[in-house]
Chains A and B, each alone.
Chain A
């Protein structure tokens, strides 16, 4: 019994051990630990690098640069003109406003003068009236004294005098009341006038504020628009500059490639073996795709020499020559990961 148990235990232990070993191996295989060669990722757009003379390139570059410069100047001039115009406008408006203000001030002054004169006149009139009243009083007093004297003499006369006096007083009262009324009327008129004036001024003020506000809004709008235009210009310039840079890098890459072409050709020819059946002087155009270190990823025959053995020998030579001595600057790689090369070993 114990023996069978032990046997089963042994069996399970062995099975576990075995499966562990194989599981480990399968794991390694799946996760590629035994699979060392790193894959080359060829990115970027391939260009057909055609050999172009440096002078042409320079001319093109200059033309482009000039165009850009002109465009810049034009736009700057436009902006300056716009600015000038606006400044002029603003100045004119300022002048206008100043004139209006002056006029208004003069008007105000004149009105004030008028007012003062009126006030003075009123004052004089009042003074006159007061003097008159004083005079009247004096006359009455004299009269009273006379009456008193007369009283003592004659009651009847007195009575008459009294009556007279009463009459005079009534008249006086009437007069005073009339004056008062007149005064009140004048005051009311004055107040109304003042009110009117005040209202007028307020209205003017409001109008001025409104105008100012509108003006400011307009200015703001214009400034925003100008800014937008400037930004747009800047953006366009930046884009153009970038384009120019790309073109320049591309041209540099092409130049570097041209410079390296001799070396590349030599490397390929070193690894080339003439097929026994081929004529002398054959030429084939190859398209190469290379990794950044010069490893050849793909060779394609674009234009056959007409002799398949020669073509194949060229292809083999290129592969043997891998890695090729391409320009190593990583900046250029994007533009020369694919290029054409003419293989003509007999020239």
Chain B
């Protein structure tokens, strides 16, 4: 193999030179992959920061909620426009419904619990939707870009073999640049895919964890409502 890379054309065996020499289709593939990489990294950073924010909100809210303050005060504090996110949204959905039902007279306990539970579920599913936005894009990039890169490679190698067929004397130097240029497409595909897959797995796991946390909170809140209702009935 040692002789494989040295005897070829001494002019432009740099990566940039190979990219410039590639056929237009391979170049298009490379461009797509590069853009995919850019967008996926952008998404990764956005997701990272939003998950961090959701976690922080959940931590703060739960600490405050379980420290035993007044419900109405907590509601006032967390219903502001700038904090109404994540777990707070679920609480607000439940508490609003609870207040509305309490004002009505002919509401029995199970109806009230059901109503609160339903409205909280709506809020929960909205939050889950927030958590999972763009995750599908990362999944797509992670699974598709290797194939796109492979397509570019296959196309490039195909072309270089077609060229080869017309030549009498075939040396490694005539084959190498075409294959090298085609392989760059695969490299770029992997380059885009690997971070996307890693990020997808991480964020899917984080979303699941947060979802569980929201559900647990929801159940706890419903049980509190149930208890309060019972105490009022008595």
Using a CB–CB cutoff of 8 Å, the interface residues on chain A facing chain B are 1-3, 6, 10-11, 13-15, 17-19, 21-22, 25, 29-30, 32, 34-35, 37, 39-40, 291, 295-299, 315, 319-320, 322-323
Residues of A within 8 A of B38 (CB): 18-19, 22
Binds A, one of B12-20, B111-119, B199-207: B12-20
Interface residue SS majority, chain A: helix
The 7 closest A-B pairs by CB, nearest first: A14-B45, A319-B3, A18-B41, A322-B3, A18-B42, A2-B82, A14-B46
In-complex Cβ contact of A13 among B14, B16, B45 (8 A):
B45
Rounded to whole angstroms, the CA-CA distance of A25 and B50 in the bound complex is 26
Indicate whether B99 reaches chain A with its CB closer than 8 angstroms: no
Indicate whether B172 reaches chain A with its CB closer than 8 angstroms: yes
Whether the pair B7, A298 counts as a contact (CB closer than 8 A) is yes
Residue on A with the closest CB to B10? A39
Residues of A within 8 A of B81 (CB): 1-3
Whether the pair A297, B7 counts as a contact (CB closer than 8 A) is yes
Chain B interfacial residues counted at CB < 8 A? 24
Residues of A within 8 A of B172 (CB): 319
Question: A29-B15, A296-B3, A319-B3 are known contacts. Are A11 and B10 too (CB-CB below 8 A)?
Answer: no
Residues of A within 8 A of B223 (CB): none
Indicate whether B217 reaches chain A with its CB closer than 8 angstroms: no
Indicate whether B37 reaches chain A with its CB closer than 8 angstroms: yes
Rounded to whole angstroms, the CA-CA distance of A11 and B3 in the bound complex is 50
Chain A nearest Cβ from B183, distance in angstroms: 13
Indicate whether B6 reaches chain A with its CB closer than 8 angstroms: yes
Residue on B with the closest CB to A40? B6
Chain A nearest Cβ from B113, distance in angstroms: 32
In-complex Cβ contact of B46 among A3, A11, A30 (8 A):
A11
Indicate whether B34 reaches chain A with its CB closer than 8 angstroms: yes
Question: A3-B82, A14-B42, A17-B41 are known contacts. Are A37 and B3 too (CB-CB below 8 A)?
Answer: no
